[in-house]
Amino acid sequence: MQLPVVVLVAGLSCAAVLTAGCSSKENRYPEDRARFVKIDKVVEELRTAYNRRDLADIQDLMLPREALEKATHDIQQDFLTYQEIALDWTIDRIVIEGEAIEVVVNWAGQWRKNPADTGTRERGQGILKLAGEKTVLLNGLEGDLPFGMALRRAGEPPPASRPR
């Protein structure tokens, strides 16, 4: 009967030592981690501002550049066209070179003109170009991003009605 108690105590002691060793790991690169957290926060703020249809918040996340004026116009058209926007995205990867940051996102969204509308569903992948270290702001867009859905759909005929 004494042997099982010894084995139990030894097992618990080993588990305690291993657990204590794991919990004491320190972050070797705290500045890099803080920067990644900041980038992730900006990307998420951009997505939520678009879902809320809040152009002012989106513009607060952008650097004032002519290259972003078209994106701002496209986003504004989306807000005028669609009452409901539901956009989700995931970060595929982040590439940092000095102050230049590229965030590759995979996205999927649904745009509805009114609550009764079945809506438009799309998905794609694009690059959010960000800049900065202390303050991270949107500097450019590349690839297939969800902004400008109203203009993409402007030339398409309405969906055919089903015969009854």
Indicate whether 76 pLDDT > 80. Answer: yes
pLDDT band at 153 (very low <50, low <70, confident <90, very high): confident
- CA angle, 88 then 90 then 93, to 5°: 155
CA–CA dist 42, 49 (Å, integer):
10
Cα–Cα distance measured from residue 78 to residue 53, given in angstroms and rounded to the nearest whole number: 8
For the ranges 13-27, 37-51, 99-113, which has the lowest average pLDDT?
13-27
- Best CA proximity match to 122, nearest among 91, 92, 89: 89
**Average pLDDT in the chain:** 85
Q: Does domain 30-155 have CATH number 3.10.450.50?
A: yes
pTM of the model: 0.76
d(CA 21, CA 83): 53
* Among candidate residues 65, 45, 89, the one with its CA nearest the CA of residue 140: 65
Q: Where are the domains of the chain?
A: 30-155
User: What's the average model confidence in pLDDT over 130-141?
Assistant: 94
Least confident of 66-70, 71-75, 114-118, 139-143: 66-70
pLDDT tens for each residue of 20-41: 555 556 777 888 899 999 999 9
Residue 163: pLDDT band with limits 50, 70, 90:
very low
DSSP state of 133: S
Please tell me the predicted confidence (pLDDT) of residue 1.
Answer: 52
Mean pLDDT across 44-60: 97
Other CB atoms within 10 Å distance of the CB of residue 100:
13
User: What number is the average pLDDT over the span 3-7?
Assistant: 53
